Structure formats: C-alpha cells, structure tokens
Amino acid sequence: MKILVTGGAGFIGSALIRHIIAHTEDSVVNVDKLTYAGNLDSLGEASSSPRYAFAHVDICDGSALKRVFDIHEPDAVMHLAAESHVDRSIDGPAAFIETNIVGTYILLETCRFYWQDLDAERKGFFRFHHISTDEVYGDLEGPGALFTETTPYAPSSPYSASKASSDHLVRAWHRTYGLPTLVSNCSNNYGPYHFPEKLIPHMILNALHGKPLPVYGNGQQVRDWLYVEDHARALYRVVTAGEVGETYNIGGHNEKRNLEVVETLCELLEEMAPENPHSRANREGGFRSLITFVKDRPGHDLRYAIDASKIERTLGWKPEESFESGLRKTVAWYLENESWWRKKGSDPF
C-alpha cells in the first residue's frame, strides 16, 4: 500500500510513520504544514527510506493537496493533522476551527473526488482513516464509567469541539457520498518525540531545570494514558483491517490522576538522574518540591477513560506497554535526546 499521512511530522503521526517503515512493506507520503509542533527530526531513520516521501503542504490548501494526490496516488489516507493543545484553543480558537474543521472538509473533498475517479478495484480498496480524541465525549461521571464508541458527544473546549466537528464531517461524507471512512478516538498519548508543551515532557524538562511543575487545580483530573508506539500499531491495524463506517476507541488501560503522573515522574527522575542539581541528593525535597498547584483551566474535564474492548475483540489489538514501562522509556528518551528538545537553539518549555 501507499499511505498518505497528514500531520506526519507531529507526535503521533511521526510514530505512525516510523512504525509503517520499520514493520511493513508499505510506502508513506507525509503531508505536513510544519507548524510549531511539527519536527521532521522526529521521523528518525524512516525519513531516509526509499519508501518515504514528504510534501510540505497545508491541508487547507486544496490545490496543493490535489497535486499531492495526483503525483503519489495513495491507496489510503490517515488523517492526523490537527491543532491539539487545549490551552492554545482557549487562548486562540480560530486556528483550531481553520485546521481541524475547514482543513478536514478540504481533505475530505479532495479524497472524495480522487476516490470517485479510481478504477473499481482500487476504489474498493481505498480507505480514509480519521484519527480523533476521547475529549469529544466530554468527561465521565462515576469511577466505573467508560467511553464507548456510542457515547454521546459533549465536548468542553474549543479544541474538543473542533475535533467533534471533524468527526461528524467524516461520518457524513461516508453516509452521503459513500467515501470509505473509519474513525478512531484515542486516550492521552505519551512517549518519545512529544512536543514539550504537553504534560509529561513539560514536567520532565521543567524538573531537570529546576522550574515549577504546574499542576492544574488539585491535580485530581483522571486520564487514560496510551504509549504512542502502541497507538501507532493500533492505527495501522484499523486502516488495514477495520470495517468501513466503524469507529474504534483506542486506550491504554492506564487511568491515572494528573498529580499521580507528576509524582511518578519525580520518582523516576530521582532514580534516573540522581546527579541533577534538583534531585533529592542535591536539594531538600528533591524534584517533588517543585510541584506547584495553579488555577484550574476553564472547562477542565475531570475524568476520561476508554473502553477499548471493541478493537481488542474485533481486530486483536491491545497495548503492550504498561504505564510504568512506558513512562520509564519516555523519561530515558528525554534524558538521552537533549539535542531534539533543544531544536532551533532554544528551550521549548
């Protein structure tokens, strides 16, 4: 297959491309605008493969997108390009509306006209896989509740509302035009190459530099954490074996309070970076003394948790990493890859 991946220089997109190049015989076309969070260095050795190509294109540019389709003639599209940071969506929602809603519409239309012109065999083989988030469901009430594929949408932030809108567009293009689409909604991802404004890398890098570790509210917000390489395996499974028109929830089975995540990171850093001047060996209280509670985010959802039984039952996928093993790998990667997070000559945290 030749797979066109939008947002392939981002966190999840780059993990997906690394997985495809390393573990399959498929080819990849990476379509990315290269915004602040896009980094081609995140592709590692995959970028030197003869089965990899890059197109510096904004999904909101329909003419440029059509040229990419005409040149590369993909067999599938995996759509990850999105503005994704909740705080940024609160401060400036316009970019989220433009990329996540308008960009998805333009991509869908480009795919629709391309797909309609394919011969019968290729038309039947083509897939459009839209990658979304569990945040479209809002938050959960009660400790035992889980998001399923039929949970009603109740987004709380401009970010989650824009992603909910794009999900609805994808399903409408399947129902109205017959475009062979699939949707997946994932829980919080973490792992190597994560842009440092997100919770886990932000806390790691702040701790290493003795900066405050800001925790919203009382830190009791619960998230289900999914190691990004497990997610990449799931996404490939969905696009190659999923049933057209279906939705698949992808979760890590790792519900943790935000404060618990930060405290675990501090303990790992005490073990893995004991020589750091801010560790317990060199500072009273160690890394934990840097934890600072700050005013909560507006509209902050309290709890997310995914029921991932459908993808396990129907497609045979389940996560390989526990939260403990994945978090240890993540901390080790940031300790060993300073050159990546200091790209462009400045600290991005």
Can you list the domains of the chain with their CATH numbers?
Answer: 2-194+224-255+303-323 (3.40.50.720)
Pairing, β 213-216 against β 181-186: unpaired
**222 neighbors 173 (Cβ within 8 angstroms):** no
**9 neighbors 82 (Cβ within 8 angstroms):** no
Q: Say whether pLDDT at 146 is over 70.
A: yes
Q: Say whether pLDDT at 346 is over 70.
A: no
Q: What is the pLDDT of residue 345?
A: 42
Tell me which of 62-71, 90-99, 107-116, 134-143 is least confident. Answer: 134-143
d(CA 99, CA 163): 10
Q: What is the pLDDT of residue 85?
A: 84
pLDDT grade for 198, boundaries at 50, 70 and 90: very high
237 alpha carbon, distance to own chain's centre? 16
The per-residue DSSP string of 109-171 comes to HHHHHHHHTS-HHHHHH-EEEEEEEGGGG----STT--B-TTPPP---SHHHHHHHHHHHHHH
pLDDT grade for 325, boundaries at 50, 70 and 90: very high
Cα three-residue angle 103-50-338, rounded to 5 degrees: 70
Active site residues: 134-135, 159
pLDDT grade for 343, boundaries at 50, 70 and 90: confident
Pairing, β 188-190 against β 76-79: unpaired
Best CA proximity match to 210, nearest among 116, 273, 128: 273
**Token code pair at residue 74:** 């993909």
| Helix or strand holding residue 222 (H, E) | strand 222-227
Q: Say whether pLDDT at 66 is over 50.
A: yes
Q: Say whether pLDDT at 10 is over 60.
A: yes
Q: Give the N- to C-terminal CA distance of the chain in Å, as an integer.
A: 38
**138 neighbors 153 (Cβ within 8 angstroms):** yes
- Exposed/middle/buried for 61, CB within 10 Å: 0-12, 13-18, 19+? middle
At which residue do the structure tokens 């991509």 appear?
107
pLDDT grade for 175, boundaries at 50, 70 and 90: very high
Name the average pLDDT for the chain. 95
| Helix or strand holding residue 144 (H, E) | none
Pairing, β 247-250 against β 213-216: unpaired
Q: What is the pLDDT of residue 347?
A: 53
Q: Say whether pLDDT at 99 is over 70.
A: yes
**204 neighbors 339 (Cβ within 8 angstroms):** no
Decide: helix, strand or coil at residue 263.
Answer: helix
Residue 14, strand partner residues: none
